[in-house]
Amino acid sequence: MMATLFTRNATGMLFAALAAMASVPALAQTTYWNLDKNCPTTNNTTTNGQYTNVLNGNTLLCKNSPQAGVSDTPVAALDGTANYAVVTAWGTENNTAGATFSAKKLLNHGNSYGLGVVNGAETSSDGQHATDNKDRTDAVLFEFDPSKPVTLDTITLGWRNKDSDLSVFAYTGVGSPLPLDISLGNPIGEGWTLVQHVNGACVTVTNGVCTGSTSTDLNVDVNNGIPGVSSSWWLISAYNANYGACSPSCSAGDDFFKISSLSGSWTQRPTTQVSEPGSIALAGMALIGLVGVRRRQRAQKSA
Ligand SMILES: [Ca+2]
Ligand SMILES: [Ca+2]
Ligand SMILES: [Ca+2]
């Protein structure tokens, strides 16, 4: 009877210790990327409306922040290092299914406006210097530290023209999606997951058509598509019908926006599953106890 009790206690200790070793708590902290303020400002000088001072494939390194809407130094990550988003611009040559994305010009339009894509000969005059889907589809790629995947919570649009329907994708495949190989379709590429479409709001409706522009911020919730999806690579694109139907209704072709900030929870991914010394000691003690009890049981049986 005593032996059975000891065995149960020792077995219980062993399972408790093993459970403690397996459950490494996920640490997360809310982080902001105030892109309009904490990305370097691009040289947006134009010549005949063309952004000739920015080259296709330029990269902006954007600092994160501990709070919304401010320009300040990056918050230290859970591992003590600063975190930056590497941001690039992408776009298609047309809006038909299968059109492939290639590197475009990423503009930071600055304080309270944010990021736009210049795709081909788009100029400063008709809103296409934003992230848009007029004639071609633009997208902005955010690459976060691979060891600290981000769950996006909010996308803030600092400027909008007409409408602002958009689609949010996260890379959930194996390894890295780079070099980027995506196209207009559903899915957009191997390993990419549609997180959600966002049915943006018309700035003004005139005779049933979206018109006007505004620099009043619009906050868009992200995490109601696939809750909790986390990734180190996020793509925010102007909506395209080839991505799939958007409920209740998105309309492609009249969406223009600049992305001024992101917020998200930032989770440290353990690089190696290191067991706590206490758990190892506890498991060791439990194993010794279990072996001892079994030996005593065998000794009693053979006696
Ligand atoms: Ca554009
Ligand atoms: Ca366009
Ligand atoms: Ca639209």
97-119 confidence digits (pLDDT tens):
999 999 999 999 998 899 999 99
Q: Identify whether residues 182 and 291 lie together within a single domain.
A: no
Over residues 137-166, mean pLDDT:
94
Q: Confidence class of residue 8 from pLDDT cuts 50, 70 and 90?
A: very low
Task: Classify strands 150-162 and 213-214 as parallel, antiparallel or unpaired.
Answer: antiparallel
pTM exceeds 0.85, yes or no: no
What is the tally of structural domains in the chain? 2
| 116 Cα: distance to centroid of ligand 2 (angstroms) | 10
| 140 Cα: distance to centroid of ligand 2 (angstroms) | 13
- pLDDT, one tens digit per residue, over 191-223 is 999 999 999 989 999 998 999 999 999 999 987
Ligand nearest to the CA of 202: 3
Distance CA 86, CA 233 (A): 10
Q: Identify whether residues 84 and 116 lie together within a single domain.
A: yes
Q: Identify whether residues 63 and 83 lie together within a single domain.
A: yes
Q: Identify whether residues 62 and 138 lie together within a single domain.
A: yes
Domain that holds residue 66: 26-267
Ion ligand 1: residues, CB < 5 A: 117, 119, 122, 128, 132, 138
Q: Match 């992230």 to its residue by tokens.
A: 131
Q: Identify whether residues 173 and 190 lie together within a single domain.
A: yes
Question: Residues of the chain with pLDDT > 70: what percent?
Answer: 74
Q: Identify whether residues 251 and 287 lie together within a single domain.
A: no
Ligand nearest to the CA of 240: 3
- pLDDT, one tens digit per residue, over 218-255 is 999 987 656 689 999 999 999 999 999 998 889 888 99
| 234 Cα: distance to centroid of ligand 1 (angstroms) | 18
